[in-house]
Amino acid sequence: MGLRWLSCPHIWLLWILFASCSYAFYLPGYSVKRYNDDESIPLLVNKIFSDHTQLQYAYFDLPFVCPPSGRTHGGSPFGAGQSVSQNLGEILRGDRIMTSDFELHMGKNVECQALCTAEVGRKDVKWGRQLIREGYVVEWIADNLPGATSFVTVDRRRKYYASGFKLGYQEFSPIDGKQRYYINNHFTIVIRWRSAPEGGKVVVGFEVFPKSIRAQDHGADGCPEHVHEEHEGLELYIPPNLEHLRQKYPGSSYLPEDDDYDDGATLKIPITYSVYFKEDNSIEWSNRWDLYFSKQDDSSMTHWLAVLNSLTISGVLGVAVYVIWTRTIQGDIKGRGDGAMDDRKVRKAGKAEGLLDQTSDVEREADIDSDDDGMDDVSGWKLLHADVFRVPNFSGLLAPLVGSGMQLLFMTSGLLLLSCLGILNPSYRGGFVSVGTGLFVFAGVFSGYFSGSLYKTFGGKSWRKNMLITALLFPGLIFCLVFILNLFVWAQASSTAIPFVTLIGIVLLWLLIQVPLVYAGSWYGFTRAKPWEHPTKTSPTPRRIPPQPWYLHNVQRAIITGLAPFAVLFIELLFVFKNLWQDKSGYYYVFGFLSAVTTILVITVSEVTIIATYSQLCAEDYQWWWQSFLTGGSSAFWVFAYCIWYYYFHLHITGFVSSLLFFSYSFLACAVYGLLTGTVGFLTAYAFIRRIYSSVKVD
C-alpha cells in the first residue's frame, strides 16, 4: 500500500492525454452488411420517446399506426410484428424492436405506397394530442441505423442528424386562435448508399421526412396526388357530439369538447410512405455515425476547458498535499517530532517516579503542560499513534460498503476503457448497460475479497454473515428501488417498464452468479489472505478526543470537502445531463473527455481526503475510518443538489411518474457515485495514515 501511486505524474498525464483523445477510435460495428440491387432492407420499428417525460411507448402500442399484418417481406422468415431478439441493455432502456410492413429494396424508388388506414376513437385522439404536446418522436431502425431528422447549420456548410422524427406537430389556428394538433401520416424515407470496394452497396445514411396530409387528399389507391406538394394537415380532431354532451350535462351552458366519452365516432388516418435511394460517396461506412455526433464537435473546446479546469483544481490540491508531506510530516519525523515525543515520555515517567526534584511541583506541571502545548502545535497527529488504528464503530457495515465500492470501481473502469477503445459505441445498442451489468456481476469476487480482508482486519469472526451483507445489501437496495419504480411505470403501460421475465432473469443473475462469486472472494479474503498490517499497536484504553471546531464536525466537514471534487466534475455534468434527460435523441460519445475528467476526479478525491484526514489527525481526532469514506463520497451531495437545480431550471418534465423517475434515478446514481468515490477516499486515507505512522518509531 502507500501513496507511491500518487507520485507518478507522468503516468497519470499519459493516461489523461490518451483518454481525452481516444474518442476518435470508434468501431462502428463488427461486420459490414452489403446489399445487392433489389435486395430487401428490413425496416424495424422501435418506440416513441420524448425529452419532456421519462415514459416511452412501443411503436405498435400506438392506436394511430398500422398494426402489423404478420406477412413476411423480402424473403425474411419473420413476419411483420415479430420481436427482434434484444440484449439486456436494450430491454432496460425501453427498446421494443419489431419487424414492420414497410418494404425497402436496395436501389428501388417508390413514389408512394399505401400501408393502411387506421381508425381511432375519441380517447385515442385525446392521447395522440397529449403525445404531440409532449414532443414525442418516433424511432425506426434500418441497417442498425436509427431513422434521423436531418438539419443543416445556418451557413448551410454542415449537416447533422437527430435520431428519430416527430410524431406530429401543433400550431395555432388563424381563425379562432385555438391550438390544433396534426398527426404525421406520410413518411418519405431516404436511404443513402455508396458502393463497397468488395462489391455490393452499403447503407451510409437513413433519413425520414414526415408529413401530415389530410384524408380528403388521398385517392382510391390510398395515396395522395402530388404527394410532395403542399397539403393541408390531418388534424387530430373529431367534432363533438353535442346531443350526447347535452344529455351528459343537462342545463349547462358550457359543453366541453375534449370530454372523455365514447360514442363510436372515429377518425380515419391513411398512412403512406415513399422510398428514395441516393448515392452519397462523401460518407465512408466507417464514419456513418459521425453525423449523429456532429453537434458535439462544436462543444469540444468546452470539454477541453473542463479538463483544464479539473487539472487546475487538482494541481492546487496536489501542491497542498506536497507541502503537507514534505514540509510538515517529513519535518516532524526528521526534526523535532521524535525528540519531543521521547522527551515527553521521559518527563511523564520522571513525574510519576518522583525523579524530577530540582523544581517545585507547580513548576514541573507548568513545564510539562508547556511541552504538551508545543507537541500539539508541532506534531499533534503523532499523539494518536496508539489510537489511530482502533477499530471503528459499525465496522461490520463499513467493510461491505468498501467491498461494494471496489466492485463499482472495477465496473466503471472497465466501461470507460472499453468506451474509449470504441468497443462500446452506439451501434452496439444497449451494450453499455449490458456490459456494465456483466462487469458488475463478475466483479463480485473483488467485492467479496476486499470486504472479507477488511472485515478480518477489524477482527471480525462471522465472515459468512459479512459475505451475505456484502452480496445482498447494495444490490438488494437497488433492486427494491427499481422494482417499486417499475410498478408506477407498469401502471402507465409504458415500454420503459421492465418485463417481469427480465426481472426474474436479473434476480437469477444476482443470486446464482454474483452471490457465489462474492462468497468465493470473501472466503479467500478472510481465510487465505493476511489481514492488513498496521505499523503501530493500539492501546486498550481509547484516548479522549478534544472538542472540535465547527468546520471539523462530521456533517460540515463532509459538505465543505465535497465542493472541490464537484468543481472538477460539474462542467462535464452539463453534457451528461443534457444527453441523458434533454436530448435523448442524441448520443453522448465523448467518453475520452469523460475518462480524463474521471481520472482527475479520482486524483482530486484522493488529495481532498489526504488534506481532510491530516487536519483531523492534527486536531487529535482518530476516528478517521468513517470520516474518510464520507469525505470521499461527499461530492455526491452536491451532485444531487445539482440534479434538483437542473430539474427546476432546465427540464420541462411533466407528470408525477416522470418526476418520480427523475429524482429516484438521480438519487440512485448519486448513491452509486458516492459509494465509489467514498471507497477511493477510504483507501487513500488508509494508505496515507499507514505510510506516515510507519515512519514514526514509538513504543
End-to-end Cα separation, the chain, in angstroms: 23
Residues 6+ apart with CB under 8 A from 690: 1, 2, 534, 535
Contact 122, 261 (CB under 8 A): yes
Residue 93 has pLDDT above 80, yes or no: yes
Q: Give pLDDT tens digits for 27-74.
A: 544 578 999 999 999 999 999 999 888 899 999 999 999 999 888 876
C-alpha radius of gyration, the chain, whole number: 33
Question: Please, are residues 566 and 635 in contact by the beta-carbon 8 Å criterion?
Answer: yes
Confidence grade of residue 255 (pLDDT, cut at 50, 70, 90): low
Q: Answer whether residue 358 shows pLDDT above 70.
A: no
What is the spatial distance between Cα 267 and Cα 122, in angstroms, rounded to a whole number? Answer: 8
Distance of CA 647 to the CA centre of its chain: 16
- Render pLDDT for 580-602 as a digit per residue (tens, 0 to 9): 776 655 455 566 677 888 888 99
516/444 Cα distance (integer angstroms): 8
- Is 372's pLDDT higher than 60? no
Report the alpha-carbon distance of residue 432 to residue 438 in Å, rounded.
10
Cα dihedral 296, 300, 301, 304, rounded to 10, equals 140
77 pLDDT band, cuts 50/70/90, is: confident
**pLDDT tens digits, one per residue of 535-555:** 888 888 888 888 877 667 777
CA atoms within 13 A on the CB side of 369: 6
pTM: 0.84
- The whole-number pLDDT of residue 330 equals 65
pLDDT at 274: 96
- In this prediction, what percent of the chain has a pLDDT beyond 90? 52
Tell me the C-alpha distance between 263 and 257, whole Å. 13
Backbone angles phi, psi at 222, to 5 degrees: 90, -10
Domain boundaries, the chain: 34-248+257-294, 298-331+555-698, 394-533
What's phi and psi for 191, nearest 5 deg? -105, 120
* 199: CB partners within 8 A, 6+ apart: 34
Residue 374 has pLDDT above 70, yes or no: no
Cβ atoms 635, 605 nearer than 8 A: yes
- Strands (DSSP E) contained in 91-147 are 98-99, 110-120, 137-142, 145-146
Q: Stretch 468-485: mean pLDDT, rounded?
A: 94
Distances from the Cα of 264 to the Cα of 94, 120, 243, 391, angstroms: 33, 10, 14, 74
- Across the chain, what does the average pLDDT equal? 83
A 10 A CB-CB count for 681 gives 30
In our burial notation (b when 16+ CB lie closer than 10 A, e otherwise), range 488-506 reads bbeebebbbbbeeeeeeeb
Question: What are the tens digits of pLDDT across the range 113-168?
Answer: 999 999 999 999 999 999 999 999 999 999 999 999 998 877 677 788 888 999 99
The pLDDT, as a whole number, for residue 335 is 52
Q: What percent of the chain has pLDDT over 70?
A: 82
d(CA 417, CA 425): 12
Match 473527455 to its residue by C-alpha cell.
593
Mention every residue, 6+ apart, whose C-beta is less than 8 A from residue 448: 403, 467, 470, 471, 517, 518, 519, 520, 521, 522, 523, 524, 525
Residue 4 per-residue DSSP state: G
Query: What is the C-alpha separation between 688 and 591, in angstroms, rounded?
Result: 31
DSSP 273: E
